[in-house]
Structures are given as C-alpha cells and as structure tokens.
C-alpha cells in the first residue's frame, strides 16, 4: 500500500535548526512536496523535490533520496512564526498526492 | 504565482439547509481539483477528486449524494453540502494543480469554515 510517515510533533528553540523527516512508499513516484499549515489556515506550498539532493530556498531546505524513499525539511534560524504543522506529501504515478499526517512544530523562545 | 480562490471563507447555516462552496483557479486551468476536509488538529482528509466535464471520484466513506461536486469549467469546481447537519461542521479546503504541468504542486484555496447549527 501507499504510506507516508513523519513525526507527530517536534519542539525546537528560536534561532536553532530543526530537521523534519519523512519516509514514503508509493506506487510510482512523481515528486515529494512539503507544505506549511498554520492552525486554522489552508496549507501553503514550501518545496518540491523530484531529483535526489538538496534544494535550498532561503531559511528552508528540502532533501530527497529516491532510493531510500526519504525526504527531510530543514528549517534554519527558527522564528516563532515557524510554529506550524508541516505536511509531507508524495505524488504517485497517477499524479495523486499521498499525504502524511503532518508534523506539529513547536518553537520555544 | 498560481492562485486558488475559495468562497465563502466561513459560513453558518441551519441544520437541514444546503451550502455551496466555490473553488476557482484564477490564473491557470485545472482539469482536476481536490476537495479536503480537516477536523481540528488533524491532517487533511481527501474527500473527492473533481474532474472537469465528468463525474467526481469520491473516496471511500464519503457520501456522494451528500457532498455534490460539480466541475463545469476548467477554472471552477463547486462542493455543495446538502441537508447539512452539525456533524458536517468542519474546515473544507479545495486545491488545484495546473493542467499544463504534470508534476506541479497543488495550490490551495484559503478554506471554508462551515458551522451547522
């Protein structure tokens, strides 16, 4: 079956770095997405990886290893506004997104 | 960037009435749109996939006669919650991806918070 695993909750300190891991199993693969969702709001797109390696975008970076079925989202210089849920989603061969349950990130001062 | 407009943002209705939620892709065409439901502190739950010009595909356990989906054009999909009940109160979110791009990211509407009294 198709499955996405990511930690339920993580806590980090303002100014620090945090890495949110995601493992996936899908029927075919057309990319891995990360979304940020603040409470009560719709998700917003953060990153898309389809090739192995690290994609850097400002304070956020995303990594993909297709052979391992693994991705991570790296957040640097954490700010209080980064407190949110981070959703990992893999696109299968039919271009359908398989969603993880989300990782709630708590930032402490 | 790509924008998806969802309307209304919030709605309060009485039990037994119907509510229509619109989802529009503003600057791209979307042959496929997705409707999600999200309960507090839970992840997105895909309800149905809306296909332009054809019937929607519903996920298991979602009543198609209760959640009517119409995708009449390449930029508009609507979800109608019929005979709403308090248990239908939830956060409904639509998303769409650019039909021109195979692996484009999903773009989400801002969501509709439905409260049924």
The predicted-structure confidence for A6-59, as pLDDT tens digits, reads as follows 999 999 999 999 999 999 999 999 899 999 999 878 888 899 899 999 999 899
| DSSP SS3 for A81 | helix
**Dist. CA A31–CA B56, nearest whole Å:** 24
Q: Which residues of A touch B42 (CB under 8 A)?
A: 101
Question: Is the per-residue pLDDT at B2 higher than 80?
Answer: no
Facing residue for B109 by CB, picked from A31, A42, A48: A42
pLDDT of residue A66: 96
Question: Is the per-residue pLDDT at B11 higher than 70?
Answer: yes
The whole-number average pLDDT for the span B30-51 is 86
Question: Is the per-residue pLDDT at B103 higher than 70?
Answer: no
* Separation in Å, CA B65 to CA A5, A84, A86, B68, B69: 33, 35, 33, 6, 9
The DSSP bridge pattern shows strands A3-5 and A18-25 to be: antiparallel
Facing residue for A91 by CB, picked from B43, B103, B109: B103
Facing residue for A45 by CB, picked from B34, B103, B105: B105
A2 and B CB contact within 8 Å: no
Question: Is the per-residue pLDDT at A97 higher than 70?
Answer: yes
The whole-number average pLDDT for the span A77-105 is 90
Contact present, B32 and B49 (Cβ < 8 Å): yes
């Amino acid at each position: 079956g198709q499955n996405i695993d990511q930690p339920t909750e993580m806590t980090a300190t303002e100014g620090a770095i945090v890495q949110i891991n995601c493992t996936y199993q899908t029927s075919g693969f057309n990319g891995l997405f990360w979304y940020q969702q603040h409470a009560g709001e719709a998700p917003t797109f953060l990153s898309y990886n389809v090739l192995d390696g690290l994609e850097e975008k400002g304070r956020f970076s995303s990594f993909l290893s297709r052979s391992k079925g693994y991705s991570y989202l790296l957040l640097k210089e954490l700010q209080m506004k980064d407190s949110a849920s981070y959703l990992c989603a893999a696109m299968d061969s039919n271009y359908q997104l398989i969603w993880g349950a989300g990782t709630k990130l708590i930032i402490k001062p | 960037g790509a924008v998806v407009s969802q309307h209304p943002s919030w709605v309060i209705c009485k039990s037994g009435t119907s509510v229509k939620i619109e989802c529009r892709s503003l600057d791209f065409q979307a042959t496929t749109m997705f409707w999600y439901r999200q309960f507090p502190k839970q992840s997105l739950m895909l309800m149905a996939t809306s296909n332009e010009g054809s019937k929607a595909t519903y996920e298991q356990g979602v009543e198609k006669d209760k959640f009517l989906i119409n995708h009449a054009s390449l930029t508009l999909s609507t979800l109608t919650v019929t005979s709403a009940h308090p248990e239908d109160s939830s956060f409904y979110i639509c998303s769409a991806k650019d039909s021109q791009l195979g692996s484009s990211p999903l773009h989400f509407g801002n969501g509709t918070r439905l409260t049924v009294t």
